Structure 1
Amino acid sequence: MMESQDYAHFAAIPWCTRHLQGDRLIIKTSPSRTIKPTGEDALFSETLNSESTIFRLLQVYEEPLSRTERVNEVKAFLTLGSGLNGYPDVCHGGLVTTILDEATGMLIPINQERKSIPSGTFMTAYLNTKFIRPVPTPITILARTWFTKVEGRKLFMQGTIEDENGIVLVQAEALYVQLKNSL
């Protein structure tokens, strides 16, 4: 695990610390926070990368025992600012859905690298989101995402956004489909 500003930020938050401990944890800044010459990930690497939007983002998952075994769950910690408000002190619902789309999508490159799911381009076919409670701002949240089923070109996932007390604020179910041809 490399020491990063993102890691240091979340390690300093007591409730996050308990999620950042374990012998087989992989902890890293999300690759979507890196500016790419192709423009890929510009939303999270540029537009939503500021003190008033998504100040910090860290992804965490447990390394399976086998190198080819699928990583079934990813946790993403995010510190959200008031620049994401849709209502005073409440994150805009569209941004909440965007965060869940990003978090569920984290499972794909991790597992393609392990060759535990097919290579190629996957896109969101649907992301059904259930808003249980408002996501306040500013806040540090935990987005959890996991596979429920993998069927050929279809990846079925679920996800939640939780607050520091583990209270689920938002739930989602997603389907990603592998494109037959690359973009």
Structure 2
Amino acid sequence: MDALDHAHFASIPWCAHHLQGDRIVMRAPSCRTLKPAEEDALFADTLNSDRGIFRMLQVYEEPLSPTEKVNEIKAFLTLGSGLNGYAGVCHGGLVMTILDEVISDLVPINQRRKTIPSGTHMTAYLNTNFLKPVSTPTTILTRAWFAKIEGRKYFMQGTIEDESGAILARADALFIQLKSSL
């Protein structure tokens, strides 16, 4: 976990509430690390700035059993005004990108726990409803959870919330486990 990201969100009272508990796991999302083949360049490099996504922290509750899936994750993001589509409002395409990234992280978390098969997964669809504008600069909470799993198909949902818990955007997604690597 990045100590600066943790300290940043722990200093925001409404975020700090979610960081407490004996079974809480906090980590920097894997997308914040640039991979050798330039994987994750969008979140690790392009958007990783004071004016982009300044800070990002992933949080989930460790299941009681090592064979149990992590069914829900949360991600806190502090957004800058460099993400604006309109003045003071995050671009809708970036709202969808954030939902896509956070929702998709449920798969590798569970692959590491060996609760779902390893392999590459990709977005098949991401249906997004924009309920209220995502303002900038601000800190948001993005939640993601499994709706159901059918073989190689992972049906998931996610939301973006503001500090008062109001849902700003909601998404239904399908991720497919590929039969072979890219």
Q: Which residue of 2 aligns with 1:22?
A: 21
1:170 alignment partner, SS class: strand
Q: Which residue of 2 aligns with 1:173?
A: 172
- TM-score normalised by the chain length of structure 2: 0.98
Aligned length: 182
Q: Which residue of 2 aligns with 1:48?
A: 47
2:74 paired with 1:81: no
Q: How does 1:106-125 map to 2 (within 5 A)?
A: 106-125=105-124
Q: Deviations over 1:19-46 (max 9, x none)?
A: 0001001001111111221111111000
- TM-score normalised by the chain length of structure 1: 0.98
The amino acid across from 2:10 in the alignment is A
Q: How does 1:34-183 map to 2 (within 5 A)?
A: 34-183=33-182
CA–CA separation in structure 2 for the residues paired with 1:36 and 1:124: 20
CA contact (8 A) 1:53 1:84 kept: yes
Q: Which residue of 2 aligns with 1:10?
A: 9
Q: Deviations over 1:146-170 (max 9, x none)?
A: 0000111000000000000000000
CA–CA separation in structure 1 for the residues paired with 2:2 and 2:13: 17
Q: Which residue of 1 aligns with 2:30?
A: 31
2:66 alignment partner, SS class: coil
CA–CA separation in structure 1 for the residues paired with 2:113 and 2:101: 19
- The ranges of structure 1 where at least 4 consecutive aligned residues each deviate by more than 2 angstroms after the TM superposition are none
User: How large is the Cα RMSD of the aligned pairs?
Assistant: 0.8
Q: Deviations over 1:92-147 (max 9, x none)?
A: 00000000000001101100011111111100000000000000000000000000
The amino acid across from 1:172 in the alignment is A
CA–CA separation in structure 2 for the residues paired with 1:122 and 1:116: 15
The amino acid across from 2:142 in the alignment is A
CA–CA separation in structure 1 for the residues paired with 2:118 and 2:132: 36
Alpha-carbon deviation of 1:181? Answer: 1.4
CA–CA separation in structure 1 for the residues paired with 2:121 and 2:34: 20
The amino acid across from 2:171 in the alignment is A
Alpha-carbon deviation of 1:3? Answer: 6.2
Q: Point out where structure 2 has 5 or more consecutive residues left out of the alignment.
A: none
CA contact (8 A) 2:132 2:169 kept: yes
Alpha-carbon deviation of 1:68? Answer: 1.7
Q: Point out where structure 1 has 5 or more consecutive residues left out of the alignment.
A: none
Identical-pair percentage: 69
The amino acid across from 1:67 in the alignment is P
CA–CA separation in structure 1 for the residues paired with 2:157 and 2:29: 19
